[in-house]
Amino acid sequence: MSIIEVRNLTKSYSVFKKKEGLGGSIKGLFQREYKEVEAVKGIDLNVEQGEFVAFLGPNGAGKTTTLKLLSGVINPTSGSATVMGFVPWQRKNEYRRQFALVMGQKNQLWWDLPANESYRLHQQIYGVPTDQFNATLDELTDLLDVRRLLDQPVRELSLGERMKMELIAALLHSPEVLFLDEPTIGLDVIAQHNIQQFLRFYQEKRKITILLTSHYMKDIAALCKRVVIIAGGRIEYDGSLSGIIDQFSGFKIITLQFAEGNQPDLTGYGEVLDETWPKAKIRIARADVPRVLANILRDNAIEDVAVEDLPLEDVIAKLFQDVADVSK
């Protein structure tokens, strides 16, 4: 049985449609017009226990709305979902004690208090026994190397330090399911790497189920084997990370190292991306790679050659753009 089961889940909002100009603003005071916005359009999703799943999509795709539905923050328009056998929007206390939601742009810790004080409050809210609380707090603060910061007001911490504290708050009650919404947003490269290392280690050790949204492909590549792509409120892909390139990328990049003095015209082989002689880079259709590469090697003196897929960021960006064009 899947730990997360979603069937034909939808969420629509009625949004006030404001007209332009002063006259439109005045008219809106007395006669308001609304339009229906579908944030989630009938998605189906199964997640097994212990999976670390990336949930990707452009802004406005429905990622955060889906996480809010699964955490019970909002109610759906239609459809069904269960997490660990619970219906999230019924908001049963038994469910609340078994999951956690971390949003990179939202704070759950008291701004002017040390994190330690907020943690004690969380202990009381979740009813965590003192021995278990102390052991978990010790483990998490050691793993994230923040013990020295526990008694410092949250507002005095750096962004990366605050995110570490937010993760500790989310994990103090040892949840079975963790929803992460952009946990590394705005962090520098070192802070991102530290968060990635912690999440990888903790998930492998505790075997908890994690659903992660992120715009940083390095987060996804470092942490997730399975990727779900949502765009326009619908799931467009559900599979392996490598499968995205196989399914949505029609091109490969060939990098060539020519022998000294050899500077041929490459336009007949494919799209020339870069020429810094004696190196050059061309983009060609995947199906044409064997033929084009054979012709290049036959007609030119080549010292080195590399064939690579397009960067994952480029493939996903193209997918998002294609979906957006179709939905217009």
pLDDT tens digits for 158-198? 989 999 999 999 999 999 999 998 888 888 888 899 999 99
Local structure of residue 205 (DSSP, 8 states) = H
Residue 327 has pLDDT above 60, yes or no: no
CA atoms within 13 A on the CB side of 206: 21
Please write the tens of the pLDDT for every residue from 118-138.
999 999 999 999 999 999 999
Range in 59-73, 215-229, 237-251 the model is least confident about: 237-251
Could you state, in order of their start, the residue ranges of all structural domains in the chain? 4-245, 250-309
Q: How many Å separate Cα 147 from the centre of its chain?
A: 28
Q: Which of the following CATH numbers is that of domain 250-309: 1.10.10.60, 3.10.100.10, 3.40.720.10, 3.30.70.1150?
A: 3.30.70.1150
Range in 9-13, 19-23, 285-289 the model is least confident about: 19-23
Q: pTM surpassing 0.85?
A: no
Please write the tens of the pLDDT for every residue from 143-163.
999 999 999 999 999 989 999
| 7 backbone dihedrals φ, ψ, rounded to 5° | -135, 115
Distance between first and last Cα of the chain: 38
Question: What pLDDT does 246 receive?
Answer: 78
- What pLDDT band is residue 236 in, cutting at 50, 70 and 90? confident
Question: What pLDDT does 24 receive?
Answer: 59
Q: Which of the following CATH numbers is that of domain 4-245: 2.60.40.1180, 3.90.1720.10, 3.40.50.970, 3.40.50.300?
A: 3.40.50.300
- The answer to whether the 4-245 and 250-309 domains have the same CATH topology is no
Residue 256 has pLDDT above 80, yes or no: yes
Report the share of the chain in percent with pLDDT over 70: 92
Please write the tens of the pLDDT for every residue from 44-74.
999 999 999 999 888 778 888 999 999 999 9
Q: Quick check: helix, strand or coil at residue 18?
A: coil
